[in-house]
Chain A
Amino acid sequence: MAAEKMAIAKALNSSLRKALENDPKVLIMGEDVGRLGGVFRITDGLQKDFGEERVIDTPLAESGIVGTAIGLALRGYRPVAEIQFDGFVFPAYDQIVTQLAKMHMRSLGKVKLPVVIRIPYGGGIGAVEHHSESPEAQFAHVAGLKIVSPANASDAYWMLQQAIECDDPVIFFEPKARYWDKGEVDPSGIPGPLHAAKVVREGTDLTLAAYGPMVKTALQAAGAAQAEDGVSIEVIDLRSVSPIDFDSLQRSVEKTGRLVVAHEAPVHFGAGAEVAARITERCFYHLEAPVLRVGGFHSPYPPARLEEEYLPGLDRVLDSVDRALAY
């Protein structure tokens, strides 16, 4: 299969198809994932080709979806469960935190829980309440879970397959506002490690770290800073929120001396706070400025007409860059 330009949504669909082909134990399950192909069409056509036994429309019960996915994993299956929207994951939070994350350790390694939970997340699509949130930090705090989020089509394709192959539970956050962004996918390529960060733009004056939907914004900010102020920003796509690739961040910050972390999730107790603390510890004598964070406010995700105020757009990211450079 030759390299092809495709949207993130299509890359995810191709990835799921490949996983279903590769391993008969892989199952897709969730609300509307079968006949409809998912509300975002990520599972489009899969039930038609792989049947109702492998692409399963579930009852509207998120705890039930994750709880039965655990049971299926115990039976030897590799379920890929879809939670329809970020804000709907909370009925399943108990099963994820108290059961899924802990069962491998509770069995002293005797049972494995290769469960992937796909969650379309983030804002910017003008949706109603509970459809635009970024709850990744609420899962990153839990040992036993792995959390990743792709930012482009190639990563969407490869990271999803790697998540499915992983013997640990993985929460796979999909940047829904970027579903239709296109990029090159080469299915014959060889992917890098699932949890490694990537330098997606090299620079020397400041490191800007982001993941998921914010990587595109970060790249735009870097372009604007270069064009308007001649500032050279290195952009790092973290790709993984648990674990976080601090080694890559450290290498970059030792070079640039400045770090800004951007995410849509609230800044308060967010992934950026963890990055700031760790990088301050690792790079204290290299830092020219405190690590700054830019992201959502400590306020419920606002109504759609206000989301541009809430989301860290290009201007707010550049403002943080300016503040970091002012030290």
Chain B
Amino acid sequence: MTVESSSAARSTSRRNAGGGKQAARTSRRPKPEPSAESAAGPDMVQLLTPEGERVEHPDYSIEVSAEELRGLYRDMVLTRRFDAEATALQRQGELGLWPSCLGQEAAQIGSGRALRDTDYVFPTYREHGVAWCRGVDPTLLLGMFRGVNHGGWDPNSNNFHLYTIVIGSQTLHAAGYAMGVAKDGADMAVAAYFGDGASSQGDVAESFTFAAVYNAPVVFICQNNQWAISEPTARQTRVPLYRRAQGFGFPGVRVDGNDVLAMLAVTKAAAEHARTGQGPILIEAFTYRMGAHTTSDDPTRYRRKEELEAWEAKDPILRVRRYLDRTGGADDAFYAAIEEESDALGRRVREVIRTMPDPDGMAIFEHVYADGHSLVDEERAGYAAYLASFADHAAHEGN
């Protein structure tokens, strides 16, 4: 008998034995956990179906006027257009990299519009829709991906912190910021965005701990887009992510992340929960990254076309359009105006990026410290002298 066949035989017999035991035990076992990647279920808040039908939820209801709905639709379409432009600009060599938010527009616009201007947001690097809601000029988001800066906007102008690239780090900044908000007695919530991949990071667990024990007003918004580059959510967790909160002592709720109304309703309630001193809360926005992780990624290497197609049927923009069309909430003139506005945004983005200047070389030495540092001063002077030596040389040659 070969080694292989021997081990195969053993494993077969063990499996048989195990199967028998398991069958006998089934009745005494609790119901199996729903798998982390299982989609809709009774636990998932949904107010607008993929078919564009309004449904009720016992805990979350929302009244949205046709005008508000058109506004949400506009936000999502413009975000998608901006995102598509940025992707195209990367392909044309204008950006070094772009992380697309395609498919996550409802998760971002719904949550972003639920927050007040006075709330504070800590994003990952993919929150282009949230940035839009905060009033951050979209072209400001492009600088770091073009390589002219590492952020560049003033976080306090829109209460929207810089994008954070290290996975999960910003959740601790949000928890700390919210600890300060609690000390100040300020009427505000702090939103911490992160993803399914980040949920495995120690910093996210620590941010849950800190936010919980200090009762800090943090709304943790986990966009579970099913993929951390090539790794499915099942590689990050055995339980649905929203249930992580329970172990830390605060509520968690799973929301259909492709449903802008559900995201709006749940985030509004969550922000109110935080603002009214009830501590942190976790929202798991169950959504899908329809594009690649970034423009450097090739998702055909790890996921099937059928999966993408199934999620395309649940497109966050499409379902709002269906609802608007069914209810007569928008007419052709509205869609035409949005189309025109999208084109204009696209033109502006292209123009800004193509005329975006490279920073001056000496910018390397700027803002390293707030109060200065003698080594930076010395190196700045040394490098300036080095550069000047070429000018002197050129002048000499000219003579």
Known A-B contacts A59-B209, A242-B375; the reply to A109 vs B367 at CB < 8 A is yes
| B370: A residues at CB distance < 8 A | 104, 109, 112-113, 167-168
User: Measured between alpha carbons, how far is A287 from B173 in the docked complex, in Å?
Assistant: 49
Contact check, A67 vs B173: say whether CB atoms are below 8 A apart: yes
Q: What is the 8 Å Cβ interface bit string for chain B, positions 153-195, against chain A (1 contact, 0 not)? A: 1111000011010100101111111111101100000000000
Which of A67, A69, A73, A167 neighbours the largest number of chain B CB atoms within 10 Å of its CB? A67
Give the Cβ gap from B307 to chain A, nearest Cβ, in Å: 33
User: Measured between alpha carbons, how far is A53 from B366 in the docked complex, in Å?
Assistant: 36
Judge if B373 is at the interface, Cβ distance under 8 Å. Answer: yes
User: Measured between alpha carbons, how far is A146 from B184 in the docked complex, in Å?
Assistant: 29
| B374: A residues at CB distance < 8 A | 195, 243, 245-246
Contact check, A69 vs B176: say whether CB atoms are below 8 A apart: yes
Tell me which residues from 293 to 324 in chain B have a Cβ below 8 Å from any Cβ of chain A: none
Q: What is the 8 Å Cβ interface bit string for chain A, positions 155-189, against chain B (1 contact, 0 not)? A: 00000000000111000000000000000000000
Pick the residue among B153, B180, B203 that contacts A64 (CB under 8 A): B203
User: Measured between alpha carbons, how far is A64 from B215 in the docked complex, in Å?
Assistant: 15
Pick the residue among B151, B180, B207 that contacts A72 (CB under 8 A): B180
Pick the residue among A68, A104, A144 that contacts B179 (CB under 8 A): A68
Give the Cβ gap from B369 to chain A, nearest Cβ, in Å: 5
Judge if A227 is at the interface, Cβ distance under 8 Å. Answer: no
Contact check, A71 vs B180: say whether CB atoms are below 8 A apart: yes
Judge if A111 is at the interface, Cβ distance under 8 Å. Answer: yes
Pick the residue among B161, B166, B209, B376 that contacts A74 (CB under 8 A): B161
In the complex, residue of chain A having the shortest beta-carbon distance to the beta carbon of B208 = A64
Pick the residue among A72, A99, A146, A242 that contacts B166 (CB under 8 A): A99
Give the Cβ gap from B8 to chain A, nearest Cβ, in Å: 44
Tell me which residues from 21 to 66 in chain A have a Cβ below 8 Å from any Cβ of chain B: 53, 58-59, 61, 63-64, 66
Judge if B59 is at the interface, Cβ distance under 8 Å. Answer: no
Known A-B contacts A63-B202, A64-B203, A77-B180; the reply to A99 vs B173 at CB < 8 A is yes
Give the Cβ gap from B63 to chain A, nearest Cβ, in Å: 34
Give the Cβ gap from B372 to chain A, nearest Cβ, in Å: 9
Contact check, A67 vs B369: say whether CB atoms are below 8 A apart: no
Contact check, B166 vs A105: say whether CB atoms are below 8 A apart: no
Contact check, A243 vs B373: say whether CB atoms are below 8 A apart: yes
User: Measured between alpha carbons, how far is A68 from B375 in the docked complex, in Å?
Assistant: 29
Give the Cβ gap from B143 to chain A, nearest Cβ, in Å: 10
Tell me which residues from 73 to 98 in chain A have a Cβ below 8 Å from any Cβ of chain B: 73-77, 91, 94-95, 98
**Contacts across chains A and B counted by CB atoms under 8 Å:** 144
Q: What is the 8 Å Cβ interface bit string for chain A, positions 237-279, against chain B (1 contact, 0 not)? A: 0000011111000000000000000000000000000000000
Which of B164, B172, B181 neighbours the largest number of chain A CB atoms within 10 Å of its CB? B172
Judge if B150 is at the interface, Cβ distance under 8 Å. Answer: yes
In the complex, residue of chain B having the shortest beta-carbon distance to the beta carbon of A165 = B371
Judge if A143 is at the interface, Cβ distance under 8 Å. Answer: yes
Give the Cβ gap from B225 to chain A, nearest Cβ, in Å: 23
Contact check, A146 vs B369: say whether CB atoms are below 8 A apart: yes
In the complex, residue of chain A having the shortest beta-carbon distance to the beta carbon of B165 = A98
| B177: A residues at CB distance < 8 A | 71-72, 74-75
User: Measured between alpha carbons, how far is A77 from B176 in the docked complex, in Å?
Assistant: 10
Judge if A325 is at the interface, Cβ distance under 8 Å. Answer: no
Known A-B contacts A71-B174, A74-B176; the reply to A64 vs B375 at CB < 8 A is no
Contact check, B183 vs A53: say whether CB atoms are below 8 A apart: yes
Give the Cβ gap from B142 to chain A, nearest Cβ, in Å: 15
| B202: A residues at CB distance < 8 A | 63, 91
User: Measured between alpha carbons, how far is A168 from B154 in the docked complex, in Å?
Assistant: 18
Judge if A305 is at the interface, Cβ distance under 8 Å. Answer: no
| B178: A residues at CB distance < 8 A | 71
User: Measured between alpha carbons, how far is A75 from B123 in the docked complex, in Å?
Assistant: 16
Which of A61, A104, A105 neighbours the largest number of chain B CB atoms within 10 Å of its CB? A105
User: Measured between alpha carbons, how far is A167 from B371 in the docked complex, in Å?
Assistant: 6
Contact check, A98 vs B180: say whether CB atoms are below 8 A apart: no
Contact check, A105 vs B373: say whether CB atoms are below 8 A apart: no
Judge if B206 is at the interface, Cβ distance under 8 Å. Answer: yes
Judge if B276 is at the interface, Cβ distance under 8 Å. Answer: no
Judge if A107 is at the interface, Cβ distance under 8 Å. Answer: yes
User: Measured between alpha carbons, how far is A105 from B369 in the docked complex, in Å?
Assistant: 7
In the complex, residue of chain B having the shortest beta-carbon distance to the beta carbon of A53 = B183
Pick the residue among B156, B175, B213, B373 that contacts A71 (CB under 8 A): B175
Give the Cβ gap from A20 to chain B, nearest Cβ, in Å: 14
| Residues in chain B within 8 A of chain A (CB atoms) | 149-156, 161-162, 164, 166, 169, 171-181, 183-184, 202-203, 206-207, 209-210, 213, 366-371, 373-376
Could you jot down 18 A-B contacts, CB within 8 Å? A53-B183, A64-B210, A67-B172, A67-B173, A67-B175, A68-B207, A70-B176, A74-B173, A98-B166, A104-B368, A105-B150, A106-B149, A106-B151, A107-B154, A108-B366, A108-B367, A146-B373, A167-B371
Contacts A108-B149, A168-B371, A243-B375 known; list 20 others, CB within 8 Å: A59-B209, A59-B210, A61-B206, A67-B172, A67-B175, A67-B206, A68-B179, A70-B173, A71-B178, A71-B180, A74-B161, A75-B177, A76-B180, A94-B166, A104-B368, A105-B366, A106-B152, A108-B152, A111-B154, A111-B155
Closest 3 CB pairs of A and B: A71-B176, A67-B172, A75-B180
